[in-house]
Chain A
Amino acid sequence: MKTVLDDLARQVKLRPDRPMFSDERETLTFSDVAARSDSFGSALLRRGASHEPILVFMPRGGAMIAAFFGVWKANCFYVPVDAEMGESRIRSVLDRVKPRFAIADDSATALLAACGFSGETLDANALLSEPADPAALEAAKEKTLDSDPAYLVFTSGSTGAPKGVVGVHRAVLDYAEQITKTLRADETDVFGMQAPLYVDACLKEILSALKCGSSVVLVPKKLFMTPVPLVEFLNAHRVTALCWVVPALTLISALHTFDAVVPQYLKTVAFGSEVMPPKQLKIWREHVKARYLNLYGPTECTGMSCFYEVDRDFDLGERVPIGRAFDNTEIFLIDENGSRADEGEIYIRGTCVCHGYYRDPERTKNAFVQNPLNPDYPETVYRTGDLGRRNGRGELEFLGRRDDQIKHMGHRIELGELEAAAKAVDGVDAACAVFDREKSVLGLVYTGAIEKTALLNALRSKIPEYLLPKRTAKADALPLTENGKTDRKAATLLLYK
């Protein structure tokens, strides 16, 4: 097996009529998804696409996922884009990738043109009416290697330019095996998907459907503002499993939702992307009897790499561990001397490690490094920049970052990206992004002629909404440290003046 597409073929034989993906517009069965992906794949091959990045810019839904599979069927790799990413992020993706083809729907076509897309835009609906070409699909399948790229997803970069992580088919195959085993996914599960499709987080649900025949219901984004309708939605769709970012789960527990309504069918509640506050975990466990899993892993190692199944209560100041590595993955800690230790920087090794950053040798070299414990032959491992330790029980714990990367609203953010976006606005002279961990507030301190309101309005159309500062302060000068660097700690205090 070279790609997870063989799983799709297997599921179509086993359960052709079971819903695979449901969204606000439509429900697609396993055979619908397979047929659509055949159309997409054949259409791309007909236009000469081969072993190249294909932009996919459609509304979040089953049809978009079918397009991902279609891109694979054409022996290409998908680059998912969403309006939510904001114009400047989309522009940087286009600049870096320069794709020849984009699969887009009506609403996306105009935005792509506005972002300066110079390739050919293929209308998603029109492609679906094109017939499948079984011979061409078979030939493309034969040419595919399991070491070929599967996707490019972009993640925040500290200089402002996002990094395109090159996901690989064999890592996706491995992840399908490990994540479904960890979640204990099966053909009776209904996943309520919260993740957007332009990040690798959506693979958990997609792979559970492919590998185990689970159904996936895409939870509308707007429900993540109204906790009672959100839980009612889960009950109406008999959702059994959640893999959500921490803020999505705490939205429910922190707002007294369980007084009004409780999820009825949940068996599995997995969370990740941020540290789970013990208080919120306690509220969940008191009201919903399910398996709780804390997942950890960087995009560079294909989804999640590590898990902890909650087996005890945690006091307020305690850390919920990230547990242990998935099967076929090793996580090790390296101290300042470059030796293996019980506390240090987290390194990851295994098939899960992706091919680096797209057209970005410099930043690839810094993060994808020779295994410091192996002097004998080339072995690339991923250096996460996360700090961890092993606790007395042998479980891994996440301690924080060694740089300015933060996790906020379920997204990975480099403070440098917000600073670069702010500095690009006319009227801003200098900018310093800060994160107040205590209050979980992302802030921006800047100098320049522009007023706060105008600056925020300018930023709004350019950057993803989760990157917008929640507090902004204009200063006469940015505070500096003794070494002449911007003093983020002092700048944080300016936010509250």
Chain B
Amino acid sequence: MEQLLDILRELHPETDFETETRLVDGGVLASFDIVMLITRIEEEFDVVIPAKDIVPENFNSAKALFALITRIGEQDD
């Protein structure tokens, strides 16, 4: 989780990612931010995030995003 928070903070240091739950719906993540974010996650966590999982529910909070990464990681193993 810390690793993910680091990636997110790098993009938007002004946001409190531990409490924010409307990253997509509230417009914290800018359009096209998502490509950079996913590329970083795929590199750092060695996972491939399927396009169908790139929906607001999975990206609105750091917690939901971490759950998604964990889920994909487990399926891969």
- The interface of chain A, by Cβ under 8 A from chain B, is 221-222, 224-229, 247-248, 250-251, 254-257, 259-261, 409-410, 440-441, 452-453, 456-457, 460, 465-466, 468, 470-472
Contact = CB atoms under 8 A, between A and B. Distances in A.
A255 B24 contact: no
Contacts of A471: 10
A285 to B, nearest CB: 18
A466 B38 CA distance: 18
Nearest to A259: B51
Given A228-B55, A256-B49, 6 more contacts: A225-B24, A225-B56, A226-B54, A254-B35, A410-B32, A440-B36
Given A229-B55, A254-B39, A452 B13 contact: yes
B6 to A, nearest CB: 12
B35 to A, nearest CB: 6
Dominant secondary structure of chain A at its interface with chain B: helix
9 contacts: A225-B31, A225-B34, A228-B55, A256-B51, A257-B51, A259-B51, A260-B51, A465-B30, A472-B13
Contacts of A409: 30-32
Contacts, number: 75
A465 B49 CA distance: 26
B71 interface: no
A228 B24 CA distance: 15
Interface residues of B, number: 26
B48 interface: yes
A409 B30 CA distance: 10
Contact of B55 (A226, A460, A468): A226
A466 B35 contact: no
Contacts of B32: 224, 247-248, 251, 409-410
B17 interface: no
Contacts of A453: 13-14
A228 B53 CA distance: 9
Nearest to A460: B14
B73 to A, nearest CB: 17
Contacts of A261: 51
Contact of B14 (A250, A256, A456): A456
Contact of B38 (A222, A255, A259): A255
B56 A224 contact: no
Nearest to B24: A225
Given A456-B13, A470-B36, A472-B13, A224 B54 contact: no
Interface string B21-36: 0001100011111111
Given A260-B52, A453-B13, A457-B14, A222 B24 contact: yes
A256 B35 contact: no
Given A254-B35, A460-B14, A468-B30, A227 B24 contact: no
B11 A470 contact: yes
A205 to B, nearest CB: 18
B52 A225 contact: no
A221 to B, nearest CB: 6
Contacts of A466: 30
A120 to B, nearest CB: 31
B36 A228 contact: no
Contacts of A441: 36
Point out which of B25, B51, B52, B59 has the most chain A C-beta atoms below 10 A from its C-beta: B51
